Homo-oligomer: A and B are copies of this chain.
Amino acid sequence: MASSSSLSLSKALLRPTPLPSSHHPSLRLSPSLRPSPPTPPLSLRRRATHVRASVPVKTAEKATSDVALVEKSVNTIRFLAIDAVEKANSGHPGLPMGCAPMGHVLYDEVMKYNPKNPKWFNRDRFVLSAGHGCMLQYALLHLAGFDSVKEEDLREFRQWGSRTPGHPENFETPGVEVTTGPLGQGIANAVGLALAEKHLAARFNKPDNEIVDHYTYVILGDGCQMEGIANEACSLAGHWGLGKLIAFYDDNHISIDGNTEIAFTESVDSRFEGLGWHVIWVKNGNNGYEDIRAAIEEAKSVKDKPTLIKVTTTIGYGSPNKANSYSVHGSALGAKEVDATRKNLGWPYEPFHVPEDVKKHWSRHIPEGAAFEAEWNIKFAEYERKYKEEAAELKSIINGELPAGWEEALPTYTPESPADATRNLSQQNLNALAKVLPGLLGGSADLASSNMTLLKTFGDFQKDTPAERNVRFGVREHGMGAICNGIALHSPGLIPYCATFFVFTDYMRGAIRLSALSEARVVYVMTHDSIGLGEDGPTHQPIEHLASFRAMPNILMLRPADGNETAGAYKVAVLNRKRPSILALSRQKLPNLPGSSIEGVEKGGYTISDNSSGNKPDVILIGTGSELEIAAKAGEELRKEGKSVRVVSLVSWELFDEQSEEYKESVLPGAVSARVSIEAGSTFGWEKIVGPKGKAIGIDRFGASAPAGKIYKEFGITKEAVIAAAKELI
């Protein structure tokens, strides 16, 4: 169960360190690690992060040679992107060409990371929210010495099985933190990463040992800026005062359809100031290196607000005929224009070539990165010695190991336990788990008292109380989901949950799909999961939602029926480290059913009651969630009439599908075609379960506004309907 990061941590802790034990900054700049010819420290690198430093004095000559090397490094990035896109004949060269300067400054001068352990806990996080520009990131990872992006990987850009897919994918390419491409997600993920840092720092840092301390950097473009999700997340970032979040807005005035003038004339600066951000404008992003550096320093000096650095760039910078036009955004330059760009930028090299001096310059990142990690490991060892308990907790968050016996905290229920809504039972689970899982934190999109998501022993995560674990997302579902993806992917032991009404998964589906794709263990607590919510009516009543998530890859759609099943759903959600879970929970009270169990939920589908023998019941009744009770009652009645009836809970289709054929046959024997399902949602997909001779009772229209009982009756979601259908089939 140990994650790679936990292994690395322990390895690193054990590894003999050849490095001086002092904390003097020279540790990180020992001459042997320096590029040759040695350059003076660049303005921002290796400074104490909270001190605004003056620009170092340089001789004119040195500065010139610095600039020349930087320009060369920046052009290397540009041409790696150009060449890879050209070879693939597919991709987006424009952004890497325009953003190479800020990319260079970040990866070469500012960020702390360890190329040989991309999962080192205290690394600075970088998110390319404008994910289509992924060649920028691949080029940077390549130069910095990450094993995930070798030259052959660059040559395989966008090809089958490569580690350099068409958009950044954390699960394919170590060094990529989150999966981006769908616009706006990355900046919201970054808010989650920065939230995680602020939270963990507040919980674990000590006056003498700031063990958690990193920045989160983002590059986002005009497309991200237009997306509503970005505004949602950035409003929260401002509200929370995430001072260590630094976002670069690539202000290039071009989007796919042409000049941004055609659809995007708002003042981004005013909007971000309104959102509570510090805003800086770098007017020359094409070669204003000093301005970029100064902006980052200024951003770091503003500790109570996130910073947006608007960097005006030229998309496709360097291409004499395509720069500053949409034509350079999303397709290869073409051989002729590549040649012209080589001439224009004075680049005599073969495709994919990294000049020796650039290579040498960047080569220090491998030893330096190892030094960063080793230094931090020493710090952690000290921390562990002094703060044993906290260290153990932090370690479990870093490596994702669940405390032994954690699942014993899950509440259990008997048929005698009082009837309750599964949303309330969910809250019992959340509160029980929060005591044993140090990484559990989350909240609701302004429906905490309806979704029942408050952790009673914790306060609110807020700007001035960031150690708390109740997160107030406001009415921002999409941002909430993406922020949770960021939290989940920050550290393997963080388990974010988030909540709204089930129907409003429609607002956050983009983020939910990315949880599934990027293997982020987010727990989606989705209450009011059917017409059972009653009077709010069809806008609030999910119908097609269960089916829509059952069709989505790598996500668990769980619809527990009572207390034990709710506990089972949480057990499954926590154990599935690389799969998000959606829990569909009732607004209305449900009885605790005989036969329900945590173990049953783990199998996805199981028999809760049966009076048949020989695996040949007269009829199988299948229900989920709030309708399992109806199936159970119908079963009782049919049994009274002498029928042999099996009642099956199909709480998670995905988990059931993963069981052995033998087990599945034991629950739904192929020979029994008399099957009736009942679920207060679309029947779409149920044919697979009930077969062509069975009957699926459900709702294939929109809901209605009325008391819940009335709607159930009018829509025929009743015991009587189940009994009638069963009798027709027997």
Q: Which of B260, B704, B707 interacts with A165 by CB under 8 Å?
A: B704
| Assembly stoichiometry (copies) | 2
Quick one: which of A232-289 are within 8 Å of B by CB? 232, 235-236, 238-239, 255-257, 260, 262-271, 273-276
Check if A181 is an interface residue, CB within 8 A of chain B: yes
Residues of B close to A513: CB separation below 8 A: 506
Quick one: which of A440-480 are within 8 Å of B by CB? 444, 446-450, 460, 462, 472-479
Assembled-state Cα–Cα distance A561/B552 (Å):
24
- A257 contacts B472, CB within 8 Å? yes
Contact digits for A304-344, partner B, Cβ 8 Å, 1 yes 0 no = 00000000000000000000001000000000000000000
Please tell me the size bucket of the interface on A. Answer: 35 or more
Assembled-state Cα–Cα distance A238/B270 (Å):
14
Residues of B close to A682: CB separation below 8 A: 551-553
Assuming the contacts A228-B479, A269-B274, asked whether A711 and B257 have C-beta atoms less than 8 A apart, the reply is no
- A551 contacts B687, CB within 8 Å? no
Check if A702 is an interface residue, CB within 8 A of chain B: yes
Assuming the contacts A160-B714, A535-B88, A714-B160, asked whether A507 and B504 have C-beta atoms less than 8 A apart, the reply is no
- B227 contacts A475, CB within 8 Å? yes
Check if A646 is an interface residue, CB within 8 A of chain B: no
- Kindly specify which of A22-30, A60-68, A99-107, A539-547 makes contact with the partner chain: A539-547
- B270 contacts A273, CB within 8 Å? yes
- A166 contacts B462, CB within 8 Å? no
Residues of B close to A165: CB separation below 8 A: 537-538, 704-705
Q: Which of B90, B223, B538 interacts with A534 by CB under 8 Å?
A: B90
- A228 contacts B183, CB within 8 Å? no
- B684 contacts A473, CB within 8 Å? no
Check if A437 is an interface residue, CB within 8 A of chain B: no
Residues of B close to A169: CB separation below 8 A: 537-539, 705
Which residue of B has the minimal Cβ distance to A507? B510
Residues of B close to A448: CB separation below 8 A: 256-257
Q: How far is the CB of A365 from chain B (nearest CB, A)?
A: 27
Q: Which of B181, B534, B688, B702 interacts with A537 by CB under 8 Å?
A: B181
Assembled-state Cα–Cα distance A503/B160 (Å):
20
Check if A594 is an interface residue, CB within 8 A of chain B: no
- B534 contacts A544, CB within 8 Å? no
Which residue of B has the minimal Cβ distance to A227? B475
Assembled-state Cα–Cα distance A18/B705 (Å):
41
Quick one: which of A121-174 are within 8 Å of B by CB? 131-132, 158-162, 165-167, 169
- B270 contacts A160, CB within 8 Å? no
Q: Which of B263, B537, B707 interacts with A474 by CB under 8 Å?
A: B263
Q: How far is the CB of A557 from chain B (nearest CB, A)?
A: 11
Check if A710 is an interface residue, CB within 8 A of chain B: yes
Which residue of B has the minimal Cβ distance to A275? B266
Check if A554 is an interface residue, CB within 8 A of chain B: yes
Assuming the contacts A232-B226, A475-B223, A475-B226, asked whether A537 and B166 have C-beta atoms less than 8 A apart, the reply is yes
Q: Which of B262, B273, B702, B705 interacts with A462 by CB under 8 Å?
A: B262
- B257 contacts A517, CB within 8 Å? no
Residues of B close to A476: CB separation below 8 A: 226-228
Check if A564 is an interface residue, CB within 8 A of chain B: no
What are the nearest 4 A-B pairs in CB distance? A228-B228, A270-B274, A263-B474, A165-B705
CB-defined A-B contacts under 8 Å, sample of 19? A90-B535, A158-B535, A165-B704, A165-B705, A166-B536, A166-B537, A182-B539, A184-B475, A224-B475, A226-B235, A227-B507, A228-B228, A231-B232, A235-B264, A238-B266, A269-B274, A544-B552, A547-B551, A685-B685
